[in-house]
Structure 1
């Protein structure tokens, strides 16, 4: 019995996923839990295992296509179902063959007295009745669902012209939305008989954009005008629309030949022909951002297609080979150029502004002396690394101090539900940590961070950071945070003004730890003296709807006292 494969839940707040690569083809045998495909979301890339053992009989979602969680993406049948699936197209073809024959039989029956001497007249109307699309009314191509909240798409490029033959699942056009640029594959094999939406035109999801003739029409595509010309004198098709064949006859001429000549590979002009496989706009954009020459990249996708993972791997290889001293060069790629913001950039801007609109955000900054922590790191750093397997940086100390402060100030560890005007105070500290990756900023979560000691936090933070960079985070690891902490010190910034990670009510940002002269109390010296200390700025953005400035100040003071006290000997095995 066939089993439907659906897009699984991929973490909290994740509503859709993009199929980046099918690891199995139709007809392949799969085992239970064997990886079936790779899926990418705005938070994580992961593999989807097969829910049952059997044969992959149908793939319903193409690579680079985005669908909602729960949508059907494939069908897996038993070994017997494979044969049935193969006979389905044959059954459909036989049904199509019988439908045209029914019309000719009824026509002679109605006109039997006038056409007894014309036994050949019955088959003649068959091609004429198909005049609009070669093989029946044709298949309508519509703009598919392109993700939750996406209501329209813009046709950026047609990859095929009217009259071109297309195969099933072959890229037909490129569509751009405010979230993603993607290809729309052909739903069937046949001939592109009509294009209803021009390039740069925006239409709603579900709108009809093209018509493709049937499979037999694709084989007879070059001789289609002859069949139409032959059918025009016949009286039977007089009731049918004449302009449709004429319009199609005009559109299906030389342009297809010109495109073949331009591309040299049968691809529409304007596509990237650096390899045999088609390169998507997303991959081209990513290659440009990382200065990757696509002609030197080997694709791992279907048919040798270059995927974004291939570009990222090539970019990493370029960086690793650049061992020579870095030379400062000017970036001339955008100097003096004016261009529109991309849809993705606009979407990011909208989300950032929305966070500021929802929250009454304000920021406080304090200065902390972490000299005692610096001495502890120098004293036990090597032993800690051997024991825990991770480096002892300043960040785990900041994280532990913040988690302990959340227990003292539960108002900071809360969320506001604006819909019903309620506040929920969490009974667990789930620490979201901002990680700067090549894909963008991610915020994996250390679950129940309040139950971990310094070593456990250091291991958890290092593990999440490494897997964020390698794309191996699980969906559940990117949701459920109750408070966020961000480190800008690694870039050399002294402090920043972070934006709250909704629906949380606060975020702590740590700056660079630097040595500088400060005034300190020294009883041995009889008062105030100037000394070199390891100093850091901590800034906290908070939602003034719930957290007043005094609340934020008390929280920061608790963090400061914990850090300046430096009493972490027990966690470091010194007590």
Structure 2
């Protein structure tokens, strides 16, 4: 068990990544360890075979304890039964041998279903307006197969694979549900060609043979002509594949969405001139015609009311109705939270900050910032910079309590609260007050990424003197964050929101749309007074409202 940081004396094995008999390379992770400061992996110091595991999962072991043995010999568990592996060796390929041929037909001749994809929130169905490929046509990956119209968008559906169109399972003007199979694409011959060739018939599954060739082979020309069935005259014409683009009145194809809109407004499509590509009638054409139609307003009230949009439903958590043990991290956080509340006298002061000017500066610079640094310019780097700058002027907010003494650190080491699936971590951005916005943004992005990927080192979590928590990123207006020892204060930043506000224009008060944020400072009242907190927050507020950050951008 290696040393995992200052004051860490033990750790709990959360998971073995290798088992007895497994081979391992130098520095390849052997197991995962959880301490009261960090979750990390323990690598193997040598290459070889895992001979023995000397501790189990959930065991707590001291720093320096032997966890496993790795060498070049046979594992201890295999020594008594040395002949068993030899007997088992031939038996392993046996169950695998049939599996390889079984997978071959799926890759070679089976068709791939093309389904109607999800086309937006609350969209449950769509109408096929036009097939761009027909049975027997070849298609590439991502090449459009058909056009779909929904109540929100008209779009194309691409093929997920390259091959030949074997079957179309829905016709033009059909309304299909999301997830429904629209067509099949594969490497074999189309179903309509099965009677003319022996090979496809032989490959077809027995269950499908009686169904597909008999009804579909003679009827194959009919589906080709089906889109023209709306027009009485062209229906029997042999050149029906060209008919889907035209209606019986000679005008270009009208999408179901446009046709429905015309019906609602009492508009005769035969009298509408389209302004779309090739003269296609668009939604705007129908609305323009509706305004000029005398009886359009009378027809509108009689149209069927549109269905009310469905409410957004939250997904039910699988934890509902269960009992789960606390993780080690949750136990540590719980213990420290109670200790903090029992030891310190905490309260919170909140200020409102007008960040309208800052928001305009950020919008003007975020494109250049992303291009030059590779990091997004959010509000958090601005809040962080203003916060640590003010700590230099008001070090009591950055102080710690040592018995009856107050310790004022000579650096502003900013702890950043990071929410993960495992729980809350607070990695540290060291000497933050000496950094510019680009360096702070890069540091925050790096710490957040390594936290969520479980790649933090123990030192990344040690030495923080002041914490910032951005609960506004989850939509909170403000909160009263909890101070964690040995720190004396923590700053919570809320969501940036817009509302009417009073401003002065040429010396006259006026109401305008402004951007605001609430900053909440929780602190230990044993050493920090309310006046101290107010002075500190006012300094941060003034810095943000001035929004003079051009010299601090770092790009």
- Give the TM-score category using the shorter length: 0.5 to 0.7
Is 2:367 the counterpart of 1:402? no
Deviations along 1:386-414, one digit per CA (max 9) or x if unpaired, are 11101111010000001111111112112
Displacement of 1:498 after TM fit? 0.4
Secondary structure of 2:460's partner? helix
- Whether contact under 8 Å (2:439, 2:554) holds in the other structure is no
Note closer, same or farther for the CA distance 1:86–1:417 as it changes in structure 2 (3 Å cut): same
Matched with 2:537 is 556
The CA distance in 1 between the partners of 2:448 and 2:14, in whole Å, is: 23
- The structure 1 segments of at least 4 consecutive aligned residues displaced by more than 6 Å after TM superposition are 87-90, 332-335, 337-347
Deviations along 1:461-482, one digit per CA (max 9) or x if unpaired, are 1121122222222222122111
Matched with 1:375 is 360
- Structure 1 stretches of 5 or more lacking a match? 1-6, 91-321
Secondary structure of 1:426's partner? coil
5 Å-filtered alignment, 1:85-104, equals none
- Structure 2 stretches of 5 or more lacking a match? 81-178, 180-309
Note closer, same or farther for the CA distance 1:340–1:403 as it changes in structure 2 (3 Å cut): closer
- Whether contact under 8 Å (1:44, 1:472) holds in the other structure is no
- Whether contact under 8 Å (1:507, 1:541) holds in the other structure is yes
The CA distance in 1 between the partners of 2:426 and 2:326, in whole Å, is: 24
- Whether contact under 8 Å (2:54, 2:68) holds in the other structure is yes
Deviations along 1:267-311, one digit per CA (max 9) or x if unpaired, are xxxxxxxxxxxxxxxxxxxxxxxxxxxxxxxxxxxxxxxxxxxxx
- Whether contact under 8 Å (2:436, 2:554) holds in the other structure is no
The CA distance in 1 between the partners of 2:445 and 2:311, in whole Å, is: 28
Match of 1:469 among 452, 456, 476: 452
Note closer, same or farther for the CA distance 1:466–1:338 as it changes in structure 2 (3 Å cut): closer
- Whether contact under 8 Å (1:11, 1:477) holds in the other structure is no
5 Å-filtered alignment, 1:232-271, equals none
Note closer, same or farther for the CA distance 1:573–1:27 as it changes in structure 2 (3 Å cut): closer
5 Å-filtered alignment, 1:45-64, equals 45-52=39-46, 56-64=50-58
Displacement of 1:516 after TM fit? 1.2
Is 2:519 the counterpart of 1:538? yes
The CA distance in 1 between the partners of 2:28 and 2:325, in whole Å, is: 41
- Whether contact under 8 Å (2:52, 2:76) holds in the other structure is no
Displacement of 1:496 after TM fit? 0.6
Matched with 1:37 is 31
Is 2:523 the counterpart of 1:529? no
The CA distance in 2 between the partners of 1:32 and 1:440, in whole Å, is: 31
Matched with 1:364 is 349
Note closer, same or farther for the CA distance 1:374–1:33 as it changes in structure 2 (3 Å cut): same
Secondary structure of 1:570's partner? helix
The CA distance in 1 between the partners of 2:23 and 2:466, in whole Å, is: 45
Displacement of 1:28 after TM fit? 5.9
Matched with 1:22 is 16
The CA distance in 2 between the partners of 1:456 and 1:469, in whole Å, is: 20
Note closer, same or farther for the CA distance 1:469–1:27 as it changes in structure 2 (3 Å cut): closer
5 Å-filtered alignment, 1:556-575, equals 556-572=537-553
Note closer, same or farther for the CA distance 1:49–1:484 as it changes in structure 2 (3 Å cut): same
Secondary structure of 1:518's partner? strand
Deviations along 1:525-575, one digit per CA (max 9) or x if unpaired, are x3322222111110000111111111111111111111111110123369x
5 Å-filtered alignment, 1:88-487, equals 327-329=312-314, 331=316, 349-418=334-403, 421-487=404-470
Deviations along 1:421-452, one digit per CA (max 9) or x if unpaired, are 33221111111011111111111111221221
Note closer, same or farther for the CA distance 1:560–1:331 as it changes in structure 2 (3 Å cut): same
Deviations along 1:67-95, one digit per CA (max 9) or x if unpaired, are 23333212456x5xx47x859988xxxxx
Secondary structure of 1:9's partner? coil
- Whether contact under 8 Å (2:17, 2:31) holds in the other structure is yes
Note closer, same or farther for the CA distance 1:18–1:343 as it changes in structure 2 (3 Å cut): closer
Match of 2:480 among 497, 502, 513: 497
Secondary structure of 2:11's partner? strand
Note closer, same or farther for the CA distance 1:339–1:566 as it changes in structure 2 (3 Å cut): same
The CA distance in 1 between the partners of 2:543 and 2:68, in whole Å, is: 54
- Whether contact under 8 Å (2:436, 2:553) holds in the other structure is no
Note closer, same or farther for the CA distance 1:437–1:73 as it changes in structure 2 (3 Å cut): same
Secondary structure of 2:550's partner? coil
Note closer, same or farther for the CA distance 1:424–1:49 as it changes in structure 2 (3 Å cut): same
TM-score calculated relative to the size of structure 1: 0.51
The root-mean-square deviation of aligned C-alpha atoms, in Å, is 3.4
TM-score calculated relative to the size of structure 2: 0.53
Matched with 2:60 is 66
- Whether contact under 8 Å (1:15, 1:69) holds in the other structure is yes
**RCO higher in 1 or 2 (8 Å CA, sep ≥ 6)?**
1
The CA distance in 2 between the partners of 1:378 and 1:87, in whole Å, is: 64
Matched with 2:222 is none
Secondary structure of 2:68's partner? strand
